[in-house]
Structure 1
Amino acid sequence: MPTAMPSGAPDRRAVPGPGVPVEPRRTPAERTAPRRSRIGLAAQFVLQFVYIPLGILVAIGFVVLPFWAAATSGSGGGGSGTDLGDLARILEGLARSAISWRRLRTEWSGRPEEWETFTERLLTKRFSRAERKSRWAPHELSPSRVRRAVTHLWLHHHHGLAPTRVEQLAERHGWSMDWAKSTVVKDSVGKFANR
């Protein structure tokens, strides 16, 4: 039974002819992430002023409530509630979900030039922090004298750039993307190591 094609619609199964340019397939490392909707961006930016303070109150409540319950019940124990490490992870997650004004403007425009400026600024900060934390001072080096610093960059910080372009930005600073440990292809995080 033949398949019906709407009149005037091109047959996508047909092979393009000699005069039709064919766009080469890009690998996942060469593709940019899909652009976010402007309505979603605006909603997240406005609502973050509600859900972040509420999240902080709830997180503090999970830490304080077990101690308060134990104190009022007279059992004398400290309770087995959430510890401060969990509180720190919750607060870090809330901070990561926030959108700065600069990031909102960058995502709103969606232009690669603006993403490049935004991402390079962020990479510069991350690289200098990683170098400070990884004991790069000559008197702090290990006996092997090997210097290795590692940092990461979440997808939402380079959403409008292809991972290969982010790697080129990192190479300007003497860093390279660690493709073996990176999950950029899965839209998660890029890991960078100093050369």
Structure 2
Amino acid sequence: MANGQGYGGTGGYGAPPPQVPYGQAPYGQAPYGQNPYEQNPYAQPAPPPQPQPYPAQPQPQPPAPRPLYAAARPGGFPGPAPRRNRAAVLLQFLLQWIYAPLWVLGLVLLFVVLIFADYNGSGPSSDGWLKVNRSFVPPRRLRAELSGRPEHWERYVAPILARRIAAAEAAHAAGDGEVQADLGRVVQIRLPLRLYRGLGAAGVVRLAERHGWHGVAAGTDAGHVRLARHFPAPAALNAPSPQDPPAAPGTPWGPQPVRFAPLLPFVFLLQILYVPVYGLLTCWVSRPEPDHWDRWGARWTVGPRAFRAEFTDSPAAWDRHIRRILERDATRLRAAAARTPGTTPVHRIRLNRATYRGAGAQQALRLATEHGWTLDPAYAPDPANSLRLTRPDLP
């Protein structure tokens, strides 16, 4: 048949399957025998989301409650404390001019009563009630309390911090400070919260770093901030050897002039009266030298043990006096070591100028060397005022 449907035609029964006229799918597509849905874009999985040209905006969160004492980053120092009530600050500022003088007068009367009464020494464990200044608001701090602005608090606490740092460094020069393992010394100061409330401990540490100090997190709490500075040990000890020839009299390491012998009995008797009077009249004075009273006592007092040595000014008497003081200090250190068994501390003692005035610092060092003592490398020698000795063990 002309249409190919009849017998023997190309489309009848038993005829071969029709061929694709083009052989291959156009433009490189798969032939019809494969999955016809492979080229369907709707049959493919959805592509991964593309990044947006602008980041998503965060959703607003409710404000967190303000802590009672704001803290800085982890491991840092606390921030500013909450402000005090302005009305309470003004009321305290006005009333302090009335209760502060009455407080001081009451303390004076209390001490007078205790002197003449049979006082057994018992009382409150804290001495805070003796310090009137803790509840006193000076006019310079009033503005900072009322405004609460950090710049006002910084302007108030900066000079206070500078004075305390200067006093601490002067105390270190006079021999103060805690000796460390590297023979350096650490000096510390502490400021109460009332001095830096609106600045925070972190602000005080920032001010202290300008002076070469740093904050101590272990001693800083909600009521205080502790600052410290590490001073290295002296590079070299400029001191004579015990085997060197004796130093000349009047030199720092040589014998010092003793006082007029006929005046010593009067000094020995009158010091019972004027020493307490001087102490009461000057107890409020802040002195940067930690050994101020030792220097004052070496000049204006005489001890019963040193009376004979200074009165006779005999070398033998001075040597006996120095050995007696060395043995006394060694006995005290042995008792302290017995209370802490199992430890081998480094023992340190300090000989005052009054102990070796007529013999000289070099002679005192020579006698101390016989008992195993040497100059302490953690301190710069100051023979005009004191002699610091050390010993690693004490039998």
Same fold (TM over 0.5): yes
Equivalence for 2:249: none
Question: Percent identical across equivalent pairs?
Answer: 32
Equivalence for 2:226: 191
- Matched to 1:44, the amino acid is Q
Which residues of 2 match residues 93-132 of structure 1 at below 5 A? 93-132=131-170
Work out the CA distance in 2 between the residues paired with 1:152 and 1:125: 13
Secondary structure of residue in 1 paired with 2:93 = helix
How many Å apart are 1:149 and its aligned residue?
1.4
How many Å apart are 1:89 and its aligned residue?
6.1
- Matched to 1:80, the amino acid is Y
Work out the CA distance in 2 between the residues paired with 1:176 and 1:100: 27
The number of aligned residues is 161
Which residues of 2 match residues 33-182 of structure 1 at below 5 A? 33-68=81-116, 70=117, 79-80=118-119, 90-91=129-130, 93-135=131-173, 146-182=184-220
Work out the CA distance in 2 between the residues paired with 1:65 and 1:82: 13
Q: Is this contact kept in 2: 1:112–1:161, CA < 8 A?
A: yes
Work out the CA distance in 2 between the residues paired with 1:190 and 1:122: 14
Structure 1 123/81 Cα, relative in aligned 2: closer, same or farther at 3 Å? same
Which structure has the larger Rg?
A: 2
Structure 1 172/23 Cα, relative in aligned 2: closer, same or farther at 3 Å? farther
Work out the CA distance in 1 between the residues paired with 2:227 and 2:147: 27
Equivalence for 1:18: 58
How many Å apart are 1:124 and its aligned residue?
0.6
Structure 1 spans left out of the alignment, 5+ residues:
1-16, 71-78
- Give the TM-score normalised by structure 1: 0.69
Work out the CA distance in 2 between the residues paired with 1:66 and 1:146: 44
Please give the root-mean-square deviation of Cα atoms over the aligned residues, in Å: 3.2
2:66 is the alignment partner of 1:27? no
Greater helix percent: which structure? Answer: 1
Q: Is this contact kept in 1: 2:79–2:203, CA < 8 A?
A: no
Work out the CA distance in 1 between the residues paired with 2:63 and 2:158: 29
Q: Is this contact kept in 2: 1:62–1:82, CA < 8 A?
A: no
Q: Is this contact kept in 2: 1:59–1:90, CA < 8 A?
A: no
Work out the CA distance in 1 between the residues paired with 2:192 and 2:92: 18
- 1:5-36 superposed Cα distances (whole Å, 9 cap, x missing partner): xxxxxxxxxxxx82426778963634310001
Work out the CA distance in 2 between the residues paired with 1:120 and 1:20: 39
Structure 1 46/81 Cα, relative in aligned 2: closer, same or farther at 3 Å? farther
Structure 1 90/27 Cα, relative in aligned 2: closer, same or farther at 3 Å? closer
Q: Is this contact kept in 2: 1:174–1:194, CA < 8 A?
A: yes
- Matched to 2:157, the amino acid is T
Work out the CA distance in 1 between the residues paired with 2:87 and 2:190: 28
- Give the TM-score normalised by structure 2: 0.36
| Higher RCO, 1 vs 2 (CA within 8 Å, ≥6 residues apart) | 1
Q: Is this contact kept in 2: 1:150–1:193, CA < 8 A?
A: yes
Work out the CA distance in 2 between the residues paired with 1:45 and 1:193: 32
